[in-house]
């Protein structure tokens, strides 16, 4: 049951989609449906390959399907995927959902430049195949990680080093040229008209799926059924378009906090939806804020919309759903017939996100604000190269031994009280984002951050978001800077116990990580966002929990 206002807004959205013949325009790739501006149409024209990606990559399937056997025969016992954003999140979902047990070769995703995480992921370099996944082929994180992997492979005595690497990239990129010249174990060239966050069903998703031992034919069979269903011109029965109309209708009614409730087996799928929706819709001061993995609490604001996802034997928290419904939140239930319908759900959400973006009046296929943090990071690293250190960031406060710096908007929101209580900066309808430049694979640190997230949610009654840097820069980072100005951002860094030198660079992985944190803080400040940068000297979970609770107020 939907609230009357949301039901009316959804009816209006579906009528608008029918008026412009959206489904036909989408599948016939009519550019006029997206914008009347030539520059926007040119961008869209280069990003619609996801519509038929499964069919386009099907000729690759025999080679992709044989890949896991070739890897085992070559003696590799592990696979580490080096990627960021859309190039890495879909493989992580496939890994955690369809291949959660022990597989051979063992699989690990590395989408962090934190020195602790890098050291752990590359600890068995002698027997590891490194998969470098990058659409552009020049993204700083996978490129830097690949340099460290090469150093370790050569130190283990592997020559030529390229035989321990596999590349997934677009035609003619720097990575493609390198992989060809250095005779990588294999190279997969993806269609260039598929954007990173829409690439789950392309080679960026299917090659890792094959390495995980996931049978591709049933995965793709269910996907093709969903593709066919999403060609239905009726916006009330088209599964992707109907979901998209719901998301946009809720956002138009002020319910822009998309709260995704999934069972534990699908937790990683929530992170994939988060990056897809946030980066596609969060621009021009508009957008949908995905709320994923939020700790349960008793009170919810009127800014919530809810999507639940169930699968056989896997149900979301019914009590939680009922509390949200009791608070007046509209709930849109989805049911997967089986976990291997994951490919179908990838496609449903891609169509839904494109639909919602069209209704919100934004281009779902660009990311205009992502470059800001990249450029700020590059400038900081250039200063480090010339001066021997990153420029000092002045501290506004010292809290529990941690240095705290406030953006201009945070200064204004917190006033001149002489203290930092982040909870006072959040207003009704806002969200609070906890963004940690820490190793994402440290369970104790993750638990401490989850405790802080629950604490700040209870203190502010605002929706909460959590992310690890630099991963979030390639997903929700677009929304944070380009979306609605309703975010309050807590950026957390902590000094690593042991650092690693980036091969061939005048800085370490820890310095790169810090530059990205400071660069994003600078970008948020320039965008007029309420942001707080916290530099903690210790990575002890209890210390982190204590300091952040004190800052949150």
The burial of 473, by beta-carbon neighbours within 10 Å (0-12 exposed, 13-18 middle, 19 or more buried), is given as buried
Q: Alpha-carbon distance 40 to 368, whole Å? A: 12
Distance, in Å, from the CA atom of 344 to the CA atom of 228, rounded to the nearest integer, reads: 10
Going 263 to 268 to 271 to 272, the CA torsion angle's sign is: negative
Task: Give kind and range of the element (H or E) at residue 205.
Answer: helix 203-211
**By the 8 A CB rule, do 409 and 548 touch?**
no
Give the pLDDT of residue 497: 87
Quick one: pLDDT at residue 86?
A: 80
Q: What token pair was written down for 234?
A: 């009726």
- 346: which residues sit within 8 A by CB, 6+ positions away? 90, 200, 201, 205, 223, 272
Q: CA 205 from chain center: how many Å?
A: 14
Closest CA to 278 of 196, 364, 371: 364
- Give the whole-angstrom CA distance, residue 176 versus residue 145: 16
Helix (H, G, I), strand (E, B) or coil at 189: strand
- Measured distance CA(295)–CA(244) in Å, rounded: 26
Q: Closest Cα partner for 489 from 479, 503, 475?
A: 479
- Same fold: 52-214 with 370-552: yes
Radius of gyration of the chain (CA): 23
Strands of the 304-310 sheet, one edge to the other: 289-292, 257-261, 304-310, 331-335
Query: Residue length, the chain?
Result: 553
| Residue written as token pair 């039901």 | 7
Write down the CATH number for the domain with range 4-25+232-360: 3.40.50.10490
**Which has the closest alpha carbon to 149: 180, 184, 187, 197?**
184
The predicted pLDDT at position 371 comes to 86
Domain 52-214 has CATH 3.40.50.10490: yes
pLDDT of residue 502: 98
Strands of 277-327, DSSP E: 289-292, 304-310
- pLDDT confidence of residue 102: 60
Q: CA 135 to CA 169: how far, in whole Å? A: 5
Q: Which two tokens stand for residue 521?
A: 């803080």
**Where exactly are the structural domains of the chain?**
4-25+232-360, 52-214, 370-552
The Cα 439–Cα 457 span in angstroms is 23
As a whole number of Å, the end-to-end CA separation of the chain is 38
pLDDT, position 87: 75
Q: What is the pLDDT of residue 317?
A: 86
Q: Are 449 and 466 in contact (CB under 8 A)?
A: yes
Instruction: Identify the CATH assignment for 370-552 out of 1.20.58, 2.60.98, 3.40.50, 3.30.70.
Output: 3.40.50
The series of mean pLDDT values per 10 residues for the chain, 553 residues long, is 92 97 98 95 96 92 92 95 90 90 82 97 97 94 97 96 97 97 97 95 96 93 97 97 98 97 94 97 97 91 96 88 90 95 98 98 94 91 94 93 96 83 93 98 96 96 96 95 98 94 97 97 97 95 96 90
**Is the CB of residue 345 less than 8 Å from the CB of residue 336?**
yes
């Amino acid at each position: 049951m939907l609230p009357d206002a949301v039901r009316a807004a959804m009816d209006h959205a579906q009528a608008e989609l029918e008026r412009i013949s959206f489904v036909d325009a989408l599948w016939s790739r009519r550019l006029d449906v997206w914008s009347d501006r030539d520059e926007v149409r040119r961008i869209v024209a280069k990003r619609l390959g996801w519509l038929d990606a499964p069919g386009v990559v099907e000729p690759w399937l025999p080679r992709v399907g044989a890949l896991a056997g070739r890897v085992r025969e070559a003696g590799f016992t592990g696979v580490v995927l080096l990627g960021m954003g859309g190039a890495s999140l879909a493989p992580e979902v496939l890994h955690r959902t369809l291949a959660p047990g022990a597989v051979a070769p063992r699989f690990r995703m590395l989408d962090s430049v934190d020195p602790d995480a890098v050291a752990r992921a590359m600890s068995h370099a002698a027997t590891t195949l490194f998969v470098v996944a990058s659409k552009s082929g020049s993204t700083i994180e996978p490129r830097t990680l690949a340099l460290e992997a090469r150093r370790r492979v050569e130190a283990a005595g592997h020559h030529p080093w390229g035989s321990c690497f596999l590349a997934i990239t677009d035609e003619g990129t720097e990575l493609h040229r390198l992989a060809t010249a250095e005779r990588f174990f294999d190279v997969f060239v993806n269609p260039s008209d598929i954007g990173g966050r829409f690439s789950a069903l392309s080679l960026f998703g299917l090659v890792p799926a094959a390495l995980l031992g996931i049978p591709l034919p049933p995965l793709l069979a269910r996907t093709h059924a969903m593709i066919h269903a999403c060609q239905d011109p009726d916006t009330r029965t088209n599964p992707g378009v109907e979901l998209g109309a719901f998301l946009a209708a809720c956002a138009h009614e002020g319910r822009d906090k998309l709260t995704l409730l999934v069972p534990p087996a699908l937790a990683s799928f929530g992170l994939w939806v988060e990056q897809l929706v946030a980066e596609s819709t969060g621009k021009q001061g508009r957008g949908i804020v995905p709320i994923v993995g939020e700790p349960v609490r008793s009170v919810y604001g009127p800014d919530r919309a809810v999507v639940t996802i169930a699968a056989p034997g896997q149900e979301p928290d019914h009590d939680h759903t009922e509390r949200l419904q009791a608070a007046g939140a509209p709930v849109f239930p989805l049911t997967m017939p089986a976990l291997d319908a994951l490919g179908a759900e990838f496609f449903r959400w891609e169509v839904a996100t494109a639909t919602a973006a069209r209704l919100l009046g934004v281009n779902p296929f660009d990311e205009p604000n992502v470059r800001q943090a990249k450029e700020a990071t590059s400038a900081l690293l250039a200063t480090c190269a010339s001066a021997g250190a990153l420029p000092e960031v002045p501290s506004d406060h010292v809290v529990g031994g941690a240095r705290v710096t406030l953006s201009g908007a945070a200064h204004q929101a917190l006033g001149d009280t002489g203290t930092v209580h982040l909870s006072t900066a959040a207003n009704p309808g806002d969200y609070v984002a906890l963004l940690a430049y820490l190793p994402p694979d440290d369970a104790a640190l993750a638990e401490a951050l989850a405790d802080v997230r629950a604490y700040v949610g209870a203190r502010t009654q605002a929706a909460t978001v959590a992310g690890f840097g630099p991963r979030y820069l390639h997903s929700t980072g677009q929304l944070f800077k380009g979306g609605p100005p309703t975010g309050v951002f807590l950026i957390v860094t902590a000094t690593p116990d042991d650092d690693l030198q980036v091969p061939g660079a005048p800085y370490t992985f820890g310095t790169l990580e810090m530059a990205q944190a400071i660069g994003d803080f600078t970008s948020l400040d320039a965008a007029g966002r309420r942001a707080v940068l916290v530099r903690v000297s210790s990575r002890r979970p209890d210390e982190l929990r204590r300091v952040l609770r004190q800052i949150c107020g």
